[in-house]
Amino acid sequence: MFDQVEKVQKELAQALVANASELEAFRIRFISKKSVITGLFDAFKTVPNDKKKAFGDSP
């Protein structure tokens, strides 16, 4: 799970949007209801309670 979060963080940090179609692709990939980030929130439910604090403390 930590690896998935780090991968998405790196991808977001490198994302550049130059036009409207790229912005729409970004929105769909990261912000929409079926996005990568929504998937991470769903996966967070499977993390043991004693490990959840580590997610909140990570940058």
| Total count of domains within the chain | 1
The pLDDT assigned to 13 comes to 92
Select the more confidently predicted residue: 2 or 41.
Answer: 41
Distance (Å, whole) CA 51 – CA 27: 29
Task: Give the tens place of pLDDT for each residue, 4-52.
Answer: 888 998 999 999 999 999 999 999 999 999 999 998 888 888 888 888 8
The answer to whether 26 touches 15, Cβ cutoff 8 Å, is: yes
Six-digit token string for 56: 């909140």
Q: Domain limits at 13?
A: 2-57
Distance (Å, whole) CA 39 – CA 16: 22
Radius of gyration of the chain measured on its C-alpha atoms: 13
